[in-house]
Amino acid sequence: MIGGLGGESLTGLVTAGAFAAFLSTASGLVVAVSGVLTQDVTSRWVGDRDTGSVATAFRLAAVVAVVVPLLVALAVGEVGVAQSVGLAFAVAASTFCPLLVLGIWWRGLTDAGALAGLAAGGLGAGGAAVLHLAGVDVDGWAGALLTSPAAWSVPLGFGVMVLVSMATAGRAPAHARRFLVRLHTPESLGAGNLSGGRR
């Protein structure tokens, strides 16, 4: 350990760097979440899409993106970073993973199937995370599945997406096969011509 003024200066420098890294990550997440909320939620509340209304919608979305996690953090008390990150990844894996994999590789995915799978995986993993953070303590396999919901919520999301898509096969996009061919064919082979040229 370095004592004296040099040690204190070094500690202050390391602490400042860690705090700067935390703030940059947090601000990036706020901007990303605010952009999504602006696109899909708050822009509908504000109305017209001129420059002033878009800025107002973004500011409103930024307030929501900061206040909601703050209230959740205050409500659940002290939660370990590793635990909260694991639960957040479980929710993301239960929703985005099935959607991306099936959306990229299966032409039978429908809008109804995608929404149902997102809801099933998200509610499953999110509900388990809420119960775990609320202090519900269960022993055995049930406890393990509650603390690690991705083990069952990811297959649940995949299964619901596939089953609902098969039940609503008539809603599958007519251009899905052509789109997947363009998506998976190297550009040098000119697959863009299958849909009438490159865009």
Q: What is the pLDDT of residues 74-103, one digit of tens each?
A: 776 666 666 777 778 888 899 989 999 998
Do 60 and 96 have their domain in common?
Answer: no
Q: Among the three residues 46, 77, 108, which one is the final residue of a domain in this structure?
A: 77
Mean pLDDT along residues 36-60: 78
Residue 171, token pair as written in the block: 């809603």
Percent of the chain with pLDDT over 90: 20
Q: Among the three residues 28, 62, 77, which one is the final residue of a domain in this structure?
A: 77
Contact at 8 Å (CB) between 162 and 113?
A: yes
Q: What span, in angstroms and rounded, lies between the C-alpha atoms of 33 and 39?
A: 10
Do 90 and 17 have their domain in common?
Answer: no
128: alpha, beta or left? (left if phi > 0; alpha if psi -120 to 50):
alpha
Count CA within 13 A, CB hemisphere, residue 27: 6
Give the pLDDT score at 42.
81
Q: What span, in angstroms and rounded, lies between the C-alpha atoms of 107 and 162?
A: 11
pLDDT at 198 over 60: no
Percent of the chain with pLDDT over 70: 86
Q: Structurally, how many domains does the chain consist of?
A: 2
Q: Which domain holds residue 165?
A: 81-199
Q: Among the three residues 19, 51, 77, which one is the final residue of a domain in this structure?
A: 77
Do 1 and 27 have their domain in common?
Answer: yes
Give the pLDDT score at 162.
95
Give the pLDDT score at 196.
47
Mean pLDDT along residues 169-188: 80
Do 137 and 105 have their domain in common?
Answer: yes
Do 72 and 107 have their domain in common?
Answer: no
Do 117 and 142 have their domain in common?
Answer: yes
Task: Return the minimum-mean-pLDDT range out of 26-35, 53-62, 127-136.
Answer: 127-136
Helices (H), the chain: 4-37, 43-46, 51-76, 81-105, 111-133, 140-147, 150-167, 176-184
pLDDT at 31 over 50: yes
DSSP reduced 3-state for 47: coil
Do 1 and 49 have their domain in common?
Answer: yes
